[in-house]
Amino acid sequence: MKKITIILCFLLIMVSKSFSATSFEFGIGSGFVFYGDEKTKDLISLVDDTNQIILSGSGSFLFSVAPSVKFALGVDSLFDAHWHGGNYIYLWDYCGFLGVRVYPGFAGLICGVNYCLGRRTDFYNFKNAEEDVNSTKFGNGFSFNLGYDFGFERKGWAPLISAGWRRMPRGGSSDNIISVSVKVSSK
């Protein structure tokens, strides 16, 4: 019984230490999507591209494992809206990710790699047709990020600029998402 108690105390101490080294990060931005599915490209071409907005958002928990290495657990989303008159198509891509962030030693420079699991849901309506909602199958892919942390090695909240590329294979096609965002991180 003593061994089990000692092991449980040790695990409790380790978990509390890891949560004390936890930081948060969230941000908004924009980007561009290269759709791999011909059907999606055809639907987008039915709407005049004069009205378009692309918004991205992300949030993550970061767990320090070393001064220059952090594990990341979070969500990432991109909303691509096209509309003209009564026609519209809204494409919402979302995923959860698990990854690693490394500070390679150049001030606040950050390099990251994430494993992503997600899908895309399309909402569209065209004149003389019913409104429809379709979702892709879940796919898994990777994202690669490069950023700069203006609060590197400081405590408190700090701004962060990040750019990334996420490749999301889904069945017979792959979407490539490029995004740039402004984030706020806590330390």
CB 181 within 8 A of CB 28: yes
Give, for all 187 residues of the chain, the pLDDT tens digit: 666 667 765 555 555 455 556 888 999 999 999 998 888 888 888 886 678 999 999 999 998 888 889 999 999 999 999 998 888 999 999 999 999 999 998 888 999 999 999 999 999 888 777 778 888 889 999 999 999 999 877 778 889 999 999 999 987 788 999 999 999 988 7
- Two tokens, residue 177: 């998402």
| Residue 175, burial from CB neighbour count under 10 angstroms (0-12, 13-18, 19+) | buried
- Two tokens, residue 70: 């952090």
CB 93 within 8 A of CB 68: no
